[in-house]
Amino acid sequence: VIEIMMGSPGVILISIAAIVAFISVANSGIMSASRYPLAMSRDHILPPFFRKLNKLDAPTISLYLTVFMIVLILIVFDPTKIAKLASAFQLLVFAFICLAVIVMRESKIQSYDPGYKSPFYPWMQIIGIIASLFLISLLGLLSILFTILLIILGFVWYWYYSKARVSRTGAIYHIFERLGRQRFEGLDSELRGILKEKGLRKEDPFEEILTYSKFFDLKEKQTFDEVLNKTAEYLSTILPISSKEIVQQILEGTKIGATPVTHGFALPHFRSDNLEKAELVLVRCNDGVTIDIFNPLTHQPEETQIVKGLFFLVSPENNPAQHLRILAKIAGRLDDEDFHDKWKNAKDEHEIKDAIIYDEEFVTFIIKSNNQTAKLIGAQIKDIQIPSGCLITTIRRDGKTIIPKGNIVLDELDRLIIMGDKEGVKELRNAFMR
């Protein structure tokens, strides 16, 4: 048909397009397949060299192995039978994913924070498992034997190689814990790592919490208890919780290993039923704060570390996932190489907060009558002079989001979110945050 309509050039063009499409599909398949050995290596199920990345963060060895296995299988086996085996493998993976959703949901792990929740739970997952196994049975005896062989090989590999190397079990133990048996806290730690990679959700008020946070700049070396008492005294003035209860909650979390200490910073935190919104207190002490690191099993101090900063986070009890996402956001910023110098050399509270949420193409600030933003009170959006290349993207007022329009009048305590090029954002920081 193409030859009749477009002649030989059309046939050549369509052939080239088909080849490019096949190459694109093959490339995406290889790239996604290489993630299996990478992820399994990170979980210590495969040898550590599979998780090595090159300068472009590509899992080179995993890619080489994937390409080698694909070529080997295509040369050795019949392609038509390979298609059936590949289908059986995908169906088996889908069945296990459905089972994993059920296990994770029923485990009630607080740090399990999916961005999407499947409707019709658990019936959709149960049907998915049954349908996958049924379709595998229709593929023939070879596919059934292949599926059984994969499961057996998986058990054998885990028993003789992975079991001694894997430091976690799984979410299934959290279900047992709900039945009065046991649980494994290591999975919580792994899920927190995933939260750090996923980042905040759009509705998380991290910038607002940080903007309203209290900052203490301590000039002399202190102990953790001294800093905690000072922080608790302040929090008790803005929260319906006594300073004694705040101290008790933080110390209990510290003794069971729930206070992360990393890169010279500590993140004490807890949740409470009495809160409507989260509160954050920032503490900087360049001379150092001594903090005891407790063994979570014996609740006895194992070592003492010196930290240069502390982030005290208190959140409502009814939103544990958001609480963990905010902690993960802070922890992720602590991992950045440029943060420590910015924290140490910051001249005031604004520079401290700017260092935490720093983005060269993003700035946010609250309009107040006692600083440089006072001149914006009562001004219309269309009358505000901002650098070219910058745009007011959002206005937050009384917990609601307002889409900026030219005739909107700004009020005190409005929070502006502005995005733009680096030079324009830098100019705005100098104008309103110094």
Structural domains in the chain, CATH included, are 2-162 (no CATH), 202-356 (3.40.930.10), 362-432 (3.30.70.1450)
| Cα distance between residue 182 and residue 338, in whole Å | 41
Express as a percent the part of the chain with pLDDT over 90.
18
Looking at residue 395, what is its pLDDT? 86
432 alpha carbon, distance to own chain's centre: 31
Task: State the pLDDT confidence band at 224, using cuts at 50, 70 and 90.
Answer: very high
Looking at residue 246, what is its pLDDT? 93
Per residue in 239-270, pLDDT (tens digit) is 999 999 999 999 888 877 777 788 889 999 99
Looking at residue 84, what is its pLDDT? 82
Per residue in 336-383, pLDDT (tens digit) is 777 888 898 888 887 788 788 766 667 778 888 888 888 899 999 988
Comparing C-alpha atoms, which of 165, 166, 184 is closest to residue 174? 184
**Looking at the predicted structure, is the pLDDT value of residue 311 above 50?**
yes
| Cα distance between residue 286 and residue 337, in whole Å | 17
**DSSP class per residue in 289-326:** EEEEEEPTTT--EEEEEEEEEEEEEEEETT-HHHHHHH
Cβ atoms within 10 Å, residue 353 = 21
286 alpha carbon, distance to own chain's centre: 29
Is there a cis peptide before residue 9, judged by omega within 30 degrees of 0? no
Residue 310 burial class via C-beta count within 10 angstroms: exposed 0-12, middle 13-18, buried 19 and up: buried
- Are 279 and 311 contacting, i.e. CB atoms less than 8 angstroms apart? no
Contacts by residues 244-248 (CB-CB < 8 Å, ≥ 24 positions apart): 246/314
- Are 234 and 214 contacting, i.e. CB atoms less than 8 angstroms apart? yes
Looking at residue 187, what is its pLDDT? 42
- Are 364 and 418 contacting, i.e. CB atoms less than 8 angstroms apart? yes
Per residue in 101-144, pLDDT (tens digit) is 888 787 666 656 676 788 888 899 999 999 999 998 998 888 88
| Cα distance between residue 237 and residue 230, in whole Å | 12
Instruction: Give the pair of three-digit tokens for residue 29.
Output: 């398949």
CA dihedral sign, ordered 19, 20, 21, 22? positive
Task: State the pLDDT confidence band at 23, using cuts at 50, 70 and 90.
Answer: confident
Looking at residue 328, what is its pLDDT? 82
pTM above 0.85, yes or no: no
Looking at residue 113, what is its pLDDT? 62
Query: Average of pLDDT values for 311-325?
Result: 86
Q: CA of 101: how far to CAs of 94, 121, 388, in Å?
A: 11, 9, 48
Per residue in 151-185, pLDDT (tens digit) is 899 889 888 887 777 655 554 444 444 544 344 44
